[in-house]
Structure 1
Amino acid sequence: MIPQWLTHNRLYELARSGRRLTPWWGVIGIGVLIAFGSQIFALPISIVLFFLGMVEENTVNQPPLVSGLILSLVLAVSFGAMILLTWLWIRFFEKRSFVTLGFEPGRVFFLYGRGLLIGLASFTAIVGLLAPLGYITVENSNPEQVGLAALGGVLLVFFPGWLIQGAAEEVLTRGWMLPTLAARYRPWLGLLISSLFFAVMHGLNPNLSILAMINLGLYGLFAALYALREESLWGICAFHSIWNWAQGNLFGLEVSGQSVSGGMIFNLMESGPDWLTGGAFGPEGGLATTIVLLLSMAIIWWWPTSGQQMITQPVTTHQS
């Protein structure tokens, strides 16, 4: 049975509040331009760092506060531009406000705080699946980059770096693409295209595998269900941000195939089969993440709906 919150949702109504809705080919085309064009905004920072001899390969030896500041700045600028470009599109083409992306006031602190807790618990569950099997071990590392010595850099990377990065990808895919397509066409089309687009966004990441691509698509589907279940973007933005932070700066693992700077609380490494642990791509490329995502989606799907505000009006096709 398809739940009502999937077919009639507040996010769809917010998308329909503007003057027009972007067609599917425009959603994909503009989405590509925003996703990759926003990264250009960080180019001046990269050029300055290059001339200062502080390119990415050298940040591992920098003090955590320094490397954390660099990473946080790059993330904030490039992904902040992603949020800005998405807002400019809906403001001047669709003629609606930023709030309609799922950022309505009310229960903001509750939804965001709950998202942080669920996101941290979800990724910790992945580590918890691998550790008892002996597939997670502690890696020897520079003590200045781990634990309390790195705490300043670890916190700095989350705010504003990962906080903005996680929110930006959610704004583009679950805040704009998903409800726009669902409101103009059908909910299943919004779920499908936004999830596939999210996976393709990471298609150029190093050490990508087939299972990693599947998991990225599953994460996109999970995030879509999470946002629709809450009829808001606050919670999934928090979930996404702390999920990435936990991978790289809490547990010291690769984030979607990439090592991160800023130090770490624990420096762990995968020591089991790649199909289970994710190998060089990090846990997102392994079966342990597949299991956690599938269980999480099942919980969202069958969680009792009592007390949730539901939209009673049917979503109709909106032509531009």
Structure 2
Amino acid sequence: MKWPLNHSMLLTKEQADSSPWMTILLTFIMYIANIFVTAIVSIPFIFQFMGKENIDFTDPSASSQIQEQMSLSSSMTYVSLFLTLIMIIIALLFARWFQGRKSNSFGFTSEDFFRKYGIGILVAAVTMGLTYLINLLLGTISSQMNPEQNGMAFMLLLIGFMIQGLSEEVLLRGYMMNGIAVRWGVLAAILINSILFGLMHLANPGISWIAIVNLILAGIFFSLLFYITDNLWLTGAAHSFWNFIMGVIFGVQVSGLVLPGSILVTKAHEQHALINGAEFGFEGGLVVTVILVISCFFFLSKVKHLKPVK
């Protein structure tokens, strides 16, 4: 079965219709450029942590010690999240300069913005809420209120994740998926960008084979959501609040990263690591696997009823 192109994909075909290999190449260039900029901005923080007396630089693991301490730094967390705005800017400019694509070919539309964004938040709240509740009922986690809650941290993380989640959707779904779909088809575009999404997290702390599988499934989940709704604001909201609810509301590691000032502090019991994801967070556990598989099958049932856009 050949899946029909949605409206933003048709706009991509009309405006660019360039080689999928060019789209993939530019995706990698943009991703590396973002890492490079982030690394430059991180230099002051690296020197700060290099000065810590508790790091033994004769130890071969010194670099990983610095990385671990940086991941626990509140200021570094905020900077990293806000810097993903660069990814959005780079993707839109590269698409415009090298392929003649406009923002509407990414699935950006102002029509019914607040309702669509709200639906995206609801999707994230339902999926992540179920993940938390099932783990809690199974006894794989325990939670308590965080005595170090911080209103400023909450707002900075809220805005930061709204940017960060959208940035990944802009690059992988709006840019890469649409660019590949016009030549190789929707299904190939979904699989390729989802695999890349999983591979992008290989360097995250606590990564495991289940986490990689789940991240690829999450890529398929967001790709199907984007394909069905054809709205990048909605998909971006779902991605952003998936991370925000997991990390800031429930106090769970987000792809291995610990966040400051969460509302709850949630402890994953080590004996149930296969279920709760342990130090990687829920995305490394089987509960998320089941929820994502069920959700993807639900979205696939909706794809069957999509009519070709004229």
Structure 1 length normalisation: TM-score?
A: 0.84
Kindly state the Cα deviation for residue 101 of structure 1 after the two structures are TM-superposed.
Answer: 0.6
- What code does the residue aligned with 1:266 have? L
Could you say which residue in structure 1 is the equivalent of 2:6? 9
Cα distance in structure 2, aligned partners of 1:304 and 1:10: 14
Tell me, yes or no, if structure 1 residue 23 matches structure 2 residue 49: no
Question: Is the Cα–Cα contact under 8 Å of residues 7 and 309 in structure 2 kept in the other structure?
Answer: no
Q: Structure 2, unaligned stretches of length 5 or more?
A: 53-65
Partner of 2:215: 216
| 1:285 CA drift (Å) | 0.8
Give the alignment partner of residue 74 of structure 1, picking from 77, 80, 92: 80
1:268 correspondence with 2:274: no
Q: Which residue in the other structure is 2:121 paired with?
A: 116
Q: 1:117 to 1:210 in 2, by over 3 A?
A: same
2:145 and 2:264 in contact (8 A); partners too? no
Q: 1:40 aligns with which of 32, 36, 39?
A: 36
Partner of residue 204, structure 1: 203
The answer on whether the counterparts of 1:164 and 1:241 sit within 8 Å (CA) in structure 2 is yes
Aligned to 1:88: 93
Q: 1:254·1:260 contact (CA, 8 Å) conserved in 2? A: yes
Conservation of the 8 A alpha-carbon contact between 1:151 and 1:265 = no
The one-letter code of the counterpart of 1:100 is S
- Which residue of structure 1 lines up, in the alignment, with residue 108 of structure 2? 103
- State the partner residue of 1:166: 165
**SS of corresponding position for 2:142:** strand
Q: For residue 77 of structure 2, what is the amino acid of its counterpart?
A: L
Offset at 1:42? Answer: 2.7
Structure 1 residue identity aligned to 2:99: E
Asked if residue 280 in structure 1 is aligned to residue 279 in structure 2, the reply is yes
CA distance in 2, matches of 1:235, 1:27: 23
How many aligned positions are there? 293
- 8 Å Cα contact 1:10/1:311 also seen in 2: no
Structure 1 residues 49, 292: closer, same or farther in 2, change over 3 A? Answer: same
RMSD value over aligned CA atoms? 2.5
Matched, 1:129 2:134: yes
The answer (yes or no) to whether the contact 1:136–1:269 under 8 Å persists in 2 is: yes
**Distance in 2 between the 1:232 and 1:84 partners?**
18
CA deviation profile, 1:220-256 (whole Å, cap 9, x unmatched): 1111100011011111100110111112111111111
Secondary structure of 1:137 counterpart? strand
CA distance, structure 2, for counterparts of residue 293 and residue 232 of structure 1: 20
Q: What is aligned with 2:58? A: none
Question: Do the aligned residues in 2 keep the contact of 1:11 with 1:101 (CA within 8 Å)?
Answer: yes
Look up the SS of the partner of 2:14 in the other structure: coil
Question: Between the two proteins, what is the percent identity of the paired residues?
Answer: 28
- Once the two structures are TM-superposed, the CA of residue 257 in structure 1 deviates from its matched residue by 1.4
How far apart, CA to CA, are the structure 1 residues paired with 2:22 and 2:298? Answer: 33
Structure 2 contact 228–303 (Cα < 8 Å) conserved = no
User: Please, which runs of 5 or more residues in structure 1 have no aligned partner?
Assistant: 314-320
Task: Give the TM-score normalised by the residue count of structure 2.
Answer: 0.86
Query: Cα deviation per residue 1:108-165 (whole Å; 9 max; x = unaligned)?
Result: 1111111012112211110111111111112696x22x3xxx2331122111x11111
Tell whether the 8 Å contact from 2:9 to 2:178 is kept in structure 1 after alignment: yes
Structure 1 distance, partners of 2:33, 2:71, is 25
- Residues 182-226 of structure 1 show CA distances to partners (whole Å, capped at 9, x for unaligned) of 112211211111111111111221211111111111011111100
Partners of 1:12 and 1:182 within 8 A in 2: yes
Contact 1:35 1:201 survives alignment (8 Å): no
By how many angstroms is 1:59 displaced? 8.1
C-alpha contact (below 8 Å) 2:4/2:308 kept by paired residues: no
Read off the aligned partner of 1:34 and give its amino acid letter: M
Q: CA deviation at 1:71?
A: 2.6
Runs of 4 or more, structure 1, over 4 Å off, are 50-56, 303-306
1:190 paired residue number = 189
- Distance (whole Å) between structure 2 residues aligned to residue 35 and residue 304 of structure 1: 30
Task: Look up the equivalent residue of 1:89 and give its one-letter code.
Answer: F
Alignment partners' CA distance in 2, 1:42 and 1:194? 22
